[in-house]
Structure 1
Amino acid sequence: MNFSVHFVLIFSLSLSVRGAIDPSCKLLEKFNLYGVHKNGDIIIGGLFPIHFTVTLPELSYKTKPEVLQCEGFNFRTFRWLQMMIFTIEEINKDQTLLPSIRLGYSIYDNCRKVPQAVRAAVTLLNGADNIFKNSKCTGSPPIPAIVGDARSTQSIIIGRIAGRFGIPMVSYSSSCSCLSNKVEFPTFFRTIPSDSFQAKAMAQLVKHFGWTWVGSIATQDDYGQYLVQLFNEQVQNYGVCLAFTEAIPKIPSRAKILQIVDTIKRSTAKVIVLFAGVGDIINLANEVVRQNITNKQWIASETWSTAALLATKKNFRSFGGTIGFAFHKGEVPQFKKFLLKVRPTSIPGNSLINRFWEKLFGCTFNPPDNTTRYAIASISEPICTGQEDIEKTDSVYNDVSQLRVSYNVYKAVYAIAHALHNLVNCEPNKGPFLNKTCANISHLAPWQLLHYIKEVNFTNKFGEKVYFDENGDPIASYDIMNWQMDADGSVKIVTVGLFDASATPGQELLIDEDLLIWGDGQTKTPSSICSESCSPGTRKAARKGQPVCCFDCLQCAEGKMSNQTDSIHCLTCPIDYWSNQEHDQCVLKEIEFLSFEDTLGIILTTIALFGTGITTVILVIFICYRNTPVVRSNNIELSFLLLVSLLLCFLCSLTFIGQPTTWSCIFRHTVFGVSFALCISCILGKTIVVLMVFSATLPNNDMMKYFGPLQQRASVFACTFLQVIICILWLAISPPFPVKNIKYQNAKIILECDVGSVTAFCCVLGYIGLLAAISVVLAFLARKLPDNFNEAKFITFSMLIFSAVWVTFIPAYISSPGKYTVAVEIFAILCSSFGVAACNFAPKCYIILLKPDQNTKKHVMGRPAVAST
């Protein structure tokens, strides 16, 4: 209802209230309302939705509209009304609560429609009814407090009107959280928890069962729309999404009902939360049953979770297993006996009781007038005698097993009674009002009673504490209900849990899952998700344009992992770890280095040892035959030194095998550099000796005296020592060290030696290359000298092999992965060593061992040209 309508209502009401003190006040027109009334010292008002619908008159704007007709009698809500009457009569019999005051009541049916509810409220607040007459039109409004209304929309409208005049309202069923706003509704109280608690409870229920894809349906009123909004805000905190949100219109529309049912059928959501009253759900429930929709789990708000009208055998196939929230029920003694004592009445204004009797027994009383409706009814229905037996009927009316809203009515009436008790027992000069005065019960103003209602705090006869917080709300707690099929085929509503908002956070919701029965014959908790959970090793990737609950599962990238279900991100593994094949954990990377246990390591070790053995054999042969011309030719000392250097070259290759350490990295590179420098220095010295020997054979040439054994040893030492100096500087500046290489193979840690100073390493290799280049040049120049046994030829071949090996080594070294990089380096050392050994010593060993007749000075020093002469 918009602001202008509110203004008109409040304005008209204010005129009427002012008329209470105006002797000329007069009600121009009496509303046609169903009600129940009883006089007393203090009259408590009541508003109840006894009928489902209202037949709207035709508005032609040419004639006066007919009065509204309420249809669809609700026995359950009539029981609520009877609870108010029962409670007032119980209080009147109590000699301790209000012994000197007799309470009366004036109760109206609002027919669940706003216009009728406003008419009933205005009638209550103004006393504008022929039942209670005040000829002087003086005093306070006849109703100091109202019990009601049932629905949030009506309470919002009436609460604003009543708040304008300070008249307290205590509702038994209006749960909209908006009514907790004391600025807008300063006089509103309730014995039912606010929807903010119900929304929280429902969200925790959804979370408890792991449902993340939920549909919602709500009535198109304040109750439904506020509640679905609160529920959506709560479930978002738990990662739950609403698959759809539908609204049930206040004016029934079959087209809209069919559209809602079609949405339910097409949605992949298996769980549907429904916020609506029983009357709003009937058409929807009938259509769901008619279309045989059975694969949905319904979650009921407190308004229909215990509705026997819906929990029937006919509806069970579609709605069986429904889980809902309900207020705590109360066992009120003597109430059923009271319900069975009701009888038709002839008292004016109590037409609602007669209306109940007609609907219960399907009869009609003698029509009070000649209206067409009663004329038609009298033809088709028997006349009520008033002697029909209620005890023989089986209806919701006399079922007192689920007194929940009725119990809230009971507490609401008692809250007003206790407020009146405190007001009456105010001690003179200690009152809460101006100058410490007390209220006068004979001229009670509603705002005075409002003060005492705010401070109500008592424990009823059932041991339950009743009080209102600063927002006018009670302690929030709910029973959790479950619709189950009994052995006799009837539907029973069983309590399976509890929600207590005052409990420790995280402990509010308690459910006994062993008592739960799921719908459609399911034996386990139904699943309602948009996308299946992402297993460990994957991550969630949102689908464009869809809620966050709808996603795809993507495998984690290499080197990343997720070890939880529904991970949003994949975690990068630490530097020494790598993701396993499933990408659900990080495992230590495979550590790779050329070890002595590897096949390749064994092969290279064998080759190196074989080379060492061959060199040793050659050394032994040369030692044994050291006095022969072949061994003595070209400086025997250099030959022995060369063999020793070759031994070092073969052995240094073994330092490249095994796990790199600081000392092994230093040792392998320095030994390699010094060994090859010594080897090439010896070859260079031998080459120079060859050239000197040839020059010494010429007349007047005495070159050998400048390059004798001492100078040869000195030259080898000098060339080698220079390499030692380079290595010492290298170790001093930036020595080699072990590193974990992960740049080329992410899944492996390659243990290798970093050279440290690249410049120093290049100097070591460059120096060896320089010595080799000089040896090649000199040997090449001496290759055709006319000696019969010219070592220059073999030196040339050995240096060419050496150079070729190390030139091809560079690209092979760069392109080889992991441990094969080291293997290439070892292979180059071994190949160059074998090349030097084979070219320099194989021909001599051949002569020594197989051609001893050529192992003579004449043969060694002979010249082919002379021999031919």
Structure 2
Amino acid sequence: CHEASTVGFGIRKGYISRLSNYLETVNPQRYPNNMLVKELWEALYGCSPSLSSASQLPPCSGQESPLKQHSAYLNTSSPRVAYNVYKAVYAIAHSLHNLLMCQPGSGPFKNQSCAQSDNVLPWQLQYYLQEVKFIIAGEEVNFDLKGDSTPYYDIINWQRGTSGNTEFVNVGLFDGTKPAGEELVIQEDMIMWAGDQSEVPVSVCSASCLPGSRKAVRRGEPVCCFDCVPCDNGKISNQTNAIECTFCPEDFWSNKDRTACISKKVEFLAYDSLGIALTVISVVGACLTIVVLAVFFYHRNTAIVRINNSELSFFILFALTLCFLCSLVFIGEPTFWSCMLRHTAFSITFSLCISCILGKTLVVLAAFTATRPGENIMKWLGPKQQRAIIFSCTLVQVVICGAWLIDAHPYPSRNTKYERSKIILECSVGSTLAFWCVLGYIGLQACLCFVLAFLARKLPGNFNEAKFITFSMLIFCAVWLAFIPAYISSPGNYADAVESFAILASSFGLLFCLFAPKCYIILLKPEKNTKQHLMGKEKKTQFPILSTNVS
């Protein structure tokens, strides 16, 4: 620890009148029989005042000067202990005076009696001592009920003088008669610390640890030597020199300074920049699908619409519109109903869409192979059969979703695993098996559709739709195969964003691959929108029309 001058309390010094003159009259000649005077004289001058004394000291000649070590005895300018004794003697004197002035019949003791002047008992004197009150040298002297006197103390600073000696300098006062909070007065500018510095020295090995950190004792060093270690995340200390940091409650987290616990930030896929972007893309996709639907409906009697089975095309466009809109359910704060609607709406609409594409693929494959001699497959794929295929394939997904909702439906949950400082609101799938069964069934439909369309991709025809179905299923499968690892590794609300993005990406892929070529011919190349061009220019080569509405 660093050296520093001392500051402490001292008995208040005072002035005793005529004390110096009295001390000069105290000598063995005046008090020859007083042994205390004789001992004092020997201590002050180092000689024996009595010739008959058996002391080993030399006899006094009368010319001696006081010894240096006892020179303070004759300094009566500012006594401290002697002044305190002086007040005590006066207190006893005042008490005896009051005791002796007591009038019989009006005394303070039993039956209003007084103390006997020739037989004063200690407890009677103590009574008067507690009641005494007088002023001496401008200072009030009295005692409380416990017998304690009013405290007066000087605040003393040990300072080194110019000659190297120690000086005691008064730098303040403690006055017990002052009101509470005003008793202590210190003149800080008068204090002189070690090295003649006026600034308070740091007298510890290590500085105090501020709130937000804790003390870590250094091994093998004094207790005052320690390191200040910042509190860990989730812990705080709100006091100086804390021994340890305390954990925040479950729904709270430490602030930046680690001095207070604040509520954890709640996150979900809200309508912020990411949520708004996904919403805009979803609405644009749905509107674009409706525009395509309107174009197809307006040109429903043209060859390219009729020859590619207009009914299934309308079903696919309707399902794609629902696919775009179902991504909106993933945006916003998760609730009980939104969690149950998210995956079920997405899975059923996509299953409906893929079922329609599967039905169209079967019709295309059957139509092109039905021209071979001895084969009559198209009678098994009429409008009723097509609707039955779509209904039955979609019904399987509905049954899976119904069992999912009955057994272990999705529900909103508060996730703190990904980031302990935040509460992520998300939809727990409830049953992981059901969730992957739903995705697996859509994947099975897509793979079956892709295989069938791939087999029919090289069949003759100027507008063989199997090529576009093959390409659309390839994009669809690629999107959802990339979705699985991205979904598993995405933390919290980003998992919902990944799933919403996969829905939108696959929906746009289906929309553009299946309908962009047709819209191009309908709107920009109307001369190609004829039965002769689509069926082939050679009159001898004819292909069946896929729509049963064509005569």
| TM > 0.5 fold call | yes
**Paired residues of 1:579 and 1:586 also in contact (CA < 8 A):** yes
Distance 2:181 2:523 in 1: 101
Is residue 704 from structure 1 mapped to residue 385 from structure 2 by the alignment? no
Q: 1:662 to 1:820 in 2, by over 3 A?
A: same
Residue equivalent to 2:206 = 531
**Paired residues of 1:542 and 1:548 also in contact (CA < 8 A):** yes
Is residue 737 from structure 1 mapped to residue 411 from structure 2 by the alignment? yes
Offset from partner CA, 1:90-141 (integer Å, 9 cap, x none): xxxxxxxxxxxxxxxxxxxxxxxxxxxxxxxxxxxxxxxxxxxxxxxxxxxx
Residue equivalent to 1:655 = 329
**Secondary structure, in 3 states, of the residue corresponding to 2:190?**
coil
Residue equivalent to 1:353 = 37
Residue equivalent to 1:374 = 58
Shift of 1:578: 3.7
Residue equivalent to 2:28 = 344
Moved more, 809-818 or 356-365: 356-365
Distance 2:397 2:156 in 1: 92
Distance 2:299 2:493 in 1: 42
Shift of 1:553: 0.8
CA RMSD of aligned residues (A): 4.8
Is residue 719 from structure 1 mapped to residue 393 from structure 2 by the alignment? yes
Which amino acid letter does the alignment assign opposite residue 74 of structure 2? Y
Shift of 1:848: 2.6
**Paired residues of 1:366 and 1:383 also in contact (CA < 8 A):** no
Distance 1:396 1:547 in 2: 43
Residue equivalent to 1:399 = 76
Distance 1:746 1:592 in 2: 12
Distance 2:269 2:144 in 1: 82
Shift of 1:638: 0.9
Distance 1:634 1:801 in 2: 21
Shift of 1:555: 1.8
Shift of 1:695: 5.2
Shift of 1:499: 9.0
Residue equivalent to 1:848 = 522
**Secondary structure, in 3 states, of the residue corresponding to 1:745?**
coil
Distance 1:803 1:865 in 2: 39
Q: 1:454 to 1:764 in 2, by over 3 A?
A: same
Residue equivalent to 1:248 = none
Q: 1:323 to 1:603 in 2, by over 3 A?
A: same
Residue equivalent to 1:159 = none
Distance 1:458 1:584 in 2: 53
Q: 1:330 to 1:297 in 2, by over 3 A?
A: closer
1:206-225 maps to which residues of 2 (within 5 A)?
none
Shift of 1:857: 3.0
Q: 1:620 aligns with which of 283, 294, 304?
A: 294
Distance 2:171 2:520 in 1: 106
Distance 1:756 1:678 in 2: 24
Is residue 297 from structure 1 mapped to residue 5 from structure 2 by the alignment? yes
Q: 1:552 aligns with which of 203, 227, 233?
A: 227
Distance 1:476 1:605 in 2: 82
Distance 2:504 2:451 in 1: 23
Residue equivalent to 1:518 = 191
Which amino acid letter does the alignment assign opposite residue 513 of structure 1? I
Q: 1:848 to 1:356 in 2, by over 3 A?
A: same
Residue equivalent to 1:310 = none
**Secondary structure, in 3 states, of the residue corresponding to 2:259?**
coil
**Paired residues of 1:457 and 1:468 also in contact (CA < 8 A):** no
Aligned length: 515
TM-score by length of 2: 0.75
Moved more, 841-850 or 583-592: 583-592
Q: 1:548 to 1:359 in 2, by over 3 A?
A: closer
Q: 1:672 to 1:333 in 2, by over 3 A?
A: same
Distance 1:569 1:793 in 2: 70
Distance 1:360 1:800 in 2: 118
Shift of 1:628: 2.0
1:153-164 maps to which residues of 2 (within 5 A)?
none
**Which of the pair has the greater relative contact order for Cα pairs under 8 Å at 6+ separation?**
2
Shift of 1:643: 0.7
Offset from partner CA, 1:296-331 (integer Å, 9 cap, x none): 121xxxxxxxxxxxxxxxxxxxxxxx32243x6788
TM-score by length of 1: 0.50
Distance 2:531 2:48 in 1: 154
Q: 1:809 aligns with which of 483, 492, 508?
A: 483
Q: 1:468 to 1:850 in 2, by over 3 A?
A: closer
Which amino acid letter does the alignment assign opposite residue 79 of structure 2? Q
Residue equivalent to 1:316 = none
Which amino acid letter does the alignment assign opposite residue 670 of structure 1? T
**Paired residues of 1:737 and 1:754 also in contact (CA < 8 A):** yes
**Secondary structure, in 3 states, of the residue corresponding to 2:210?**
coil
Offset from partner CA, 1:521-554 (integer Å, 9 cap, x none): 5555544222111123222111113343321111
Q: 1:630 to 1:468 in 2, by over 3 A?
A: closer
Q: Percent identity?
A: 46
**Secondary structure, in 3 states, of the residue corresponding to 1:528?**
coil
Which amino acid letter does the alignment assign opposite residue 404 of structure 1? V
